[in-house]
Amino acid sequence: DSGVTQTPKHLITATGQRVTLRCSPRSGDLSVYWYQQSLDQGLQFLIQYYNGEERAKGNILERFSAQQFPDLHSELNLSSLELGDSALYFCASSWTGNEQFFGPGTRLTVL
């Protein structure tokens, strides 16, 4: 158990819909990272928040957004969903920035 929690575990929705994925970091970690893992692209960095502020952006689509709240939990919002957005979405947290601890992931299926 990494100490990082993610909800929900599974999410099935339709194209065009909007969903929110939730992540609670390990106690004491200020940074939260979001990743997308698909069969063809592997594990791709989306975005990082540090203590409530956006710190780094990766390959995140404009239809996707994230935020980190004062209690340090984070949410990833995915809108106008497409079939190709089906993937595993992971949240990770860290204290040092270099070593990240991953949550169990949310499996998103877009039908």
Partner 1 sequence: TQLLEQSPQFLSIQEGENLTVYCNSSSVFSSLQWYRQEPGEGPVLLVTVVTGGEVKKLKRLTFQFGDARKDSSLHITAAQPGDTGLYLCAGPLYGGATNKLIFGTGTLLAVQP
CB 33 within 8 A of CB 54: no
Kindly state whether residue 25 participates in binding partner 1, applying the rule CB under 8 A. Answer: no
- For position 108 contacting partner 1 by CB under 8 A, the verdict is no
At 15 the three-state DSSP class reads coil
Q: How far is the CB of 16 from partner 1 (least distance, A)?
A: 28
Angle at 10 between CA 4 and CA 16, to 5 degrees: 115
d(CA 87, CA 70): 28
Contact 74, 23 (CB under 8 A): yes
Question: Bridge-partner residues for 36, per DSSP?
Answer: 44, 89
Rounded to the nearest whole angstrom, what is the least distance from the CB of residue 82 to partner 1 in the complex? 23
Q: With respect to partner 1, which residue has the nearer C-beta, 61 or 101?
A: 101
Binding pattern to partner 1, positions 50-69, x when CB under 8 A? -----xx-x-----------
Q: Which of residues 87-106 bind partner 1 (CB under 8 A)?
A: 90, 92, 94, 97-105
Q: By CB under 8 A, name the binding residues for partner 1.
A: 2, 4, 31, 33, 42-45, 48, 55-56, 58, 90, 92, 94, 97-105
